[in-house]
Amino acid sequence: MIQDLRNINPQFTMEEIDAIVAASIDSLNPMIDPVNQVNSMINPINQKIDPVNKMVNPSEELVILNVGGVKYETYRSTLTAYPDTFLGTMFLERNQPLLKRGNEYFFDRCGKIFRYIMQYYRTGKVIIPNEDGITRKEFLIEMDYFQIPRAGSTIDRIVILRLNEIVNTFKYLIKEVSEYHMYKNSFKKFITEIDVCFLDNGQATVKAGIDNTLTDIFDSSKTYAYSIISVYKNEIKNYLEAEYPEITWEDEHRVGSVQYYKIKLCIKWELDHIKILNGSCLKIISD
CATH code: domain of residue 85: 3.30.710.10
Residues 70 and 116 in one domain: yes
The pLDDT assigned to 83 comes to: 87
The pLDDT assigned to 25 comes to: 55
Written as one string, the DSSP assignment of 77-133 is HHHHTSTTSHHHHHTSGGGGGGSPSSSEEEE-S-HHHHHHHHHHHHHS------STT
Residues 88 and 130 in one domain: yes
CB neighbour list of residue 282: distance below 8 Å, 6 or more residues apart: none
CB 223 within 8 A of CB 202: yes
Residues 112 and 182 in one domain: no
Say how far apart CA 120 and CA 16 lie, in whole Å: 82
Residues 213 and 243 in one domain: yes
Where does a domain end: 119, 134, 151?
A: 151
Residues 94 and 144 in one domain: yes
Full-model pTM: 0.55
Say how far apart CA 48 and CA 15 lie, in whole Å: 48
The pLDDT assigned to 150 comes to: 76
The pLDDT assigned to 73 comes to: 95
Where does a domain end: 32, 55, 78?
A: 55
Where does a domain end: 119, 151, 183?
A: 151
- 199 bridge partner residues: 260
Alpha-carbon distance values, 4 to 14, 21, 191 (Å): 12, 12, 90
The pLDDT assigned to 218 comes to: 93
CB 139 within 8 A of CB 116: yes
Per-residue pLDDT tens listing for the chain (287 residues): 444 544 545 555 666 656 665 665 555 555 545 545 545 555 555 555 444 444 445 557 899 999 999 999 999 999 999 888 899 988 888 777 777 778 899 999 999 999 999 999 999 888 888 777 888 889 989 998 998 887 666 788 788 889 989 999 999 999 999 999 999 999 989 999 999 999 999 999 999 888 767 888 999 899 999 999 999 999 999 999 999 999 999 999 999 888 999 999 999 999 998 888 888 888 765 44
Q: What is the sign, positive or negative, of the torsion defined by CA atoms of 88, 91, 97, 103?
A: positive
Residues 166 and 284 in one domain: yes
Say how far apart CA 226 and CA 52 lie, in whole Å: 45
Residues 162 and 227 in one domain: yes
Q: Is 240 exposed, middle or buried (0-12, 13-18, 19+ CB in 10 A)?
A: middle
Say how far apart CA 85 and CA 60 lie, in whole Å: 18
Domain residues for the domain of 81 are 57-151
Residues 49 and 63 in one domain: no
Residues 200 and 122 in one domain: no
C-alpha distance across the termini of the chain, in Å: 92
Domains held by the chain: number: 3
The pLDDT assigned to 66 comes to: 95
Residues 21 and 39 in one domain: yes
The pLDDT assigned to 12 comes to: 55
